Amino acid sequence: MSEHFDVAVLGMGPGGEIAASRLITAGKRVAVFERELIGGECAYWACIPSKTVLRPGEARTEVHRAAGVSAAELDWASTRAYRDYMIRGLDDSAQVDGYTDQGATVIKDEARLTGPGRIQARDRQITAEHIIIATGSEAVIPPIEGIEKITAWTNRETYTTRDLPRRAVVVGGSAVGLETATFLARFGVQVTLVHRGNRLLGREDPRVGELVHEYLADIGVDIRMNASAAKAHRSGEDSVITLEDGTEVLADVVIFGTGRRPRTKGLGFEDAGARLGEHGEVLIDEHARAGQNLWAIGDVTGVMPFTHVAKYQGRIAADAILGQAHPATYAGIPRVVFSEPEVAASGLTRQQAVQRGIRTTGTELDLADAIARPWTYEQNPRGHLGLLADAEKKVLIGAWAIGPQAGEWIHQASLAIRTQLPLEILLDQVAQFPTYHEAYQAALEQLGA
Ligand SMILES: Cc1cc2nc3c(=O)[nH]c(=O)nc-3n(C[C@H](O)[C@H](O)[C@H](O)COP(=O)(O)OP(=O)(O)OC[C@H]3O[C@@H](n4cnc5c(N)ncnc54)[C@H](O)[C@@H]3O)c2cc1C
Ligand SMILES: NC(=O)c1ccc[n+]([C@@H]2O[C@H](COP(=O)([O-])OP(=O)(O)OC[C@H]3O[C@@H](n4cnc5c(N)ncnc54)[C@H](O)[C@@H]3O)[C@@H](O)[C@H]2O)c1
């Protein structure tokens, strides 16, 4: 006999958690399914451990760069201990109890859909009026001949490792690759970064890639551009990657930051009415609807694979189920890479704007030339801000920033892009002196806003 619920949530990463919590609070009868750990990739193997282990290196850099303070040393054993605390020792029993106490039915098993409104988890049959698919994504390792012979890690092994390797090859020059290279290099690991594109962070403005390249090279990362990992073999203790031009790079471990794929295979989503896109993602409308009473949120949708987007879509879907539908809009959502210093972007790149036929004006500001905060913050100050405006509508359409805490101060641009705030209002904003936010006024004046 099957059990019936108002809503079933498949996958309890950040997207599933937000949706489930909202629905439980609204009094719905909710069943949640999780095949691994409640909290998902983000909480145990991705955002949380990576940002936790990046922070000591960042703090040490700040100590070294601030005038009048010295002697900061990194300690892997205590960093690891704090990381393990932050990832709850890979134990989600408190989360299971928490949801159970709130009245949800927690099923720690893999679920698959067997038809509209029907779910199976092991031998348990469940029906639900609404189903939310929140099954996330999984790391992709490119098909490389000989890969089985080497020590190959993804983010999972990297961010739960007990011991640091002495030498690492990091494959992929996007968010995972850059954050991983920064973390390891800061802890004294000899890092070679192999990237097949001609610039790092290839989806961002080319200037961002250039600046990131300089900063990463400065901390000792050996960067190989236009280089694709073609073959792999083991030589004694070494894992060896042969690049397409025949060059060999060797290390104790090869870490892949080569993208992720939506987790949809074999889960019966199409039988329940969902349509999958060319990368296997569940296609959704602006309410996160994937079919009749079927919803999808987070990485599985392939819309913007970030935790803040998974959480946003969780709110969108839950509100639609609760009869308070409001459409999602993805304009101006920030994209931050927690390298050193941080890289942040929002809205369109110039290339994307041109493709949409927008006439643009843009500017780039070296923060040290324009504002005081970088100088009071550190010696030899770092930081740039780039702004892109629609020349006809006179609104901001894109922004990028590199500098200490850029992930915090990008939000001013995010809000302006999202709300299409007129440039003249933005220019009339008065930022606290001396802060990084002052860069916006300087850049807007340079832009001739
Ligand atoms: C190294 C790394 C660092 C990152 N850092 C950041 C960051 O700093 N900021 C940021 O915004 N994003 C970051 N991301 C991206 C972020 O991790 C994802 O966007 C986010 O986890 C997506 O959330 P989700 O809920 O869609 O899926 P997930 O977190 O992937 O969770 C999905 C859950 O569903 C479960 N599941 C899957 N299939 C089933 C099934 N059939 N039945 C039951 N359960 C199932 C899984 O076990 C998992 O727990 C990072 C990613 C990586 C790899
Ligand atoms: N701070 C954050 O918000 C954050 C941090 C990490 C990851 N993430 C998210 O996680 C997802 C995965 O990130 P990612 O960096 O793994 O994926 P990605 O898809 O952004 O980038 C993968 C990179 O690997 C390169 N690559 C692929 N195969 C290669 C090969 N054989 N040799 C050399 N280079 C190769 C690609 O050209 C690409 O640049 C992204 O969507 C990202 O947004 C977010």
Q: Are 19 and 126 in a shared domain?
A: yes
pLDDT for 368 equals 98
Q: Residue ranges of the chain with pLDDT lower than 50?
A: none
Give the pLDDT confidence of 88-126 residue by residue, as tens digits.
999 999 999 999 999 999 999 999 999 999 999 999 999
Nearest-CA residue for atom 48 of ligand 1: 40
Q: Are 354 and 286 in a shared domain?
A: no
The complex's ipTM works out to: 0.98
User: Does any ligand 2 atom lie closer than 6 A to the CB of residue 199?
Assistant: no
Q: Is 383 exposed, middle or buried (0-12, 13-18, 19+ CB in 10 A)?
A: buried
Domain region containing 394: 335-447
User: Does any ligand 2 atom lie closer than 6 A to the CB of residue 208?
Assistant: no
Three-state secondary-structure class, residue 372: coil
**Domain assignment of residue 79, yes or no:** no
DSSP state of 148: G
Largest CA distance in the chain: 71
Q: Please tell me the distance from the alpha carbon of residue 318 to that of residue 32, in angstroms, as a whole number.
A: 14
Q: Are 130 and 183 in a shared domain?
A: no
pLDDT for 99 equals 98
Q: Are 24 and 124 in a shared domain?
A: yes
Give the nearest ligand 1 atom to 39 CA.
49
Interval between CA 196 and ligand 1 midpoint (Å): 25
Domain count across the chain: 3
* CATH code for the domain of 354: 3.30.390.30
pLDDT for 1 equals 67
Q: Please tell me the distance from the alpha carbon of residue 366 to that of residue 207, in angstroms, as a whole number.
A: 12
Total Cβ atoms within 10 A of residue 285: 12
pTM score over 0.90 = yes
Give binding residues for FAD as ranges.
Answer: 51, 135-137, 299
pLDDT for 71 equals 87
Q: Are 130 and 18 in a shared domain?
A: yes
End-to-end CA, the chain: 66
